[in-house]
C-alpha cells in the first residue's frame, strides 16, 4: 500500500501516523494513542484537531473518557475533491497574476535584461521560454543561426523540442553556419557555407535573443537578452542575410 499518496492530499507525517493507527485500532483514547504512536500527548491532541477539521476523525464520550475513531476512508475522496478545487482556484489566480506581472515587467522593457543559464537545465529553460513566449503571439515565427556543436547540446537538453514546437504551430527559419542539419516540419533551412562547428547558436524571437555556446570546460551555457531594439536589429540582419542565401 502506497501511503505516500496521502501526502499529496496535504497530510503530514504525524497526521498519517495517527490516522493509520486509528484505522488499525478502532476507538481509542488520547493516552493510549500517544503510547501506541510514541508521540507526546500534546502533539497527539493537536494532530487529532487538524484531522477532525479535515473530516478524517471523530470522537464520542465513553464513560469519563473521550474516544477517537477514524472516519470511513471514503472521506479521503472528499478531501481529494477539495484539494482539486483548491488547485483549480490557485491556477485561475496564478493566471490572473501572471497577466498583471507581465504588464509590470513590460514597463521596464526599455532597459536590456540579460540572464545567464548553465548546463542542460539552463538550455532547456531558454527553449521552454521560447515556446511559452510564442504560443500566444500572432506571428509564431522565430529565427536561428544554427551551429553544429551547440545543436547537439540543444538536442540533448530538450529531445522533444521540435515535436512541441510543431504542436504549437511555431515556424522557424534557420541559417546553418556549418554543413549538415535538416528540416523537421514547419521550418526552412539555408546554409552559410562555413565550417565552424563550434560557433554560437543564436535564437531570435519575440523581443529576445538567446546565445547558446560552451564554457571553457565544454559545458553548455546560454545568455538571454530581452530588449526589443536588440531583437529588431538582429531580426533585420538575419532576414537580409536569409534573402541573399539560396
* pLDDT value, residue 154: 94
Q: Where are the beta strands (DSSP E) in 119-200?
A: 141-146, 171-176, 187-191
Give residues with Cβ within 8 angstroms of 80, minimum separation 6: 9
CATH topology of domain 110-244: Endonuclease; Chain A (3.30.870)
Give per-10-residue mean pLDDT for the chain (246 aa): 77 88 86 88 90 86 79 85 85 82 63 87 95 91 92 93 95 90 88 81 96 92 93 96 91
Q: Show the beta-strand stretches assigned E in 79-199.
A: 113-118, 141-146, 171-176, 187-191
Q: What is the pLDDT at residue 101?
A: 79
In whole angstroms, what is the distance from residue 201 CA to residue 144 CA?
7
For helices 119-134 and 148-157, give the axis angle rounded to 10 degrees: 80
Helix 13-25 and helix 41-53, axial crossing angle in degrees, nearest 10: 90
- The whole-number pLDDT of residue 111 equals 67
pLDDT for res 5: 79
Does 1-107 match 110-244 in CATH topology?
no
Task: Spell out the domain ranges in the chain.
Answer: 1-107, 110-244
Query: For the purposes of burial, counting CB atoms within 10 Å of the CB of 181, is it exposed (0-12), middle (13-18) or buried (19 or more)?
Result: middle
Amino acid 108: pLDDT: 54
Q: What is the predicted pLDDT for the residue at 166?
A: 95
| pTM for this predicted structure | 0.58
Give the pLDDT of residue 107. 59
What is the model's pLDDT at position 96?
81
CATH architecture of the region 1-107: Orthogonal Bundle (1.10)
Amino acid at each position: 500500500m502506497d501511503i505516500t499518496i496521502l501526502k499529496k492530499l496535504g497530510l503530514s507525517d504525524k497526521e498519517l501516523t495517527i490516522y493509520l493507527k486509528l484505522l488499525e485500532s478502532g476507538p481509542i483514547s488520547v493516552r493510549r494513542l500517544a503510547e501506541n504512536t510514541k508521540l507526546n500527548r500534546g502533539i497527539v491532541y493537536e494532530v487529532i484537531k487538524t484531522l477532525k477539521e479535515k473530516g478524517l476523525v471523530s470522537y464520542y464520550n465513553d464513560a469519563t473518557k473521550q474516544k477517537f475513531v477514524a472516519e470511513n476512508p471514503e472521506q479521503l475522496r472528499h478531501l481529494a475533491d477539495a484539494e482539486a478545487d483548491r488547485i483549480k482556484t490557485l491556477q485561475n489566480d496564478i493566471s490572473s497574476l501572471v497577466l498583471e506581472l507581465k504588464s509590470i515587467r513590460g514597463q521596464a522593457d526599455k532597459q536590456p535584461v540579460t540572464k545567464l543559464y548553465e548546463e542542460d537545465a539552463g538550455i532547456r529553460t531558454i527553449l521552454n521560454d521560447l515556446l511559452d513566449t510564442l504560443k500566444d503571439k500572432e506571428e509564431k515565427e522565430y529565427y536561428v543561426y544554427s551551429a553544429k556543436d551547440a545543436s547537439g547540446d540543444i538536442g540533448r537538453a530538450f529531445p522533444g523540442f521540435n515535436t512541441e514546437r510543431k504542436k504549437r504551430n511555431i515556424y522557424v527559419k534557420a541559417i546553418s553556419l556549418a554543413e549538415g542539419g535538416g528540416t523537421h516540419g514547419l521550418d526552412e533551412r539555408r546554409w552559410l557555407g562555413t565550417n565552424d562547428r563550434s560557433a554560437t547558436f543564436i535564437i531570435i524571437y519575440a523581443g529576445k535573443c538567446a546565445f547558446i555556446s560552451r564554457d571553457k570546460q565544454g559545458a553548455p551555457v546560454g545568455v538571454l537578452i530581452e530588449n526589443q531594439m536588440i531583437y529588431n536589429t538582429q531580426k533585420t540582419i538575419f532576414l537580409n542575410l536569409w534573402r541573399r542565401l539560396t
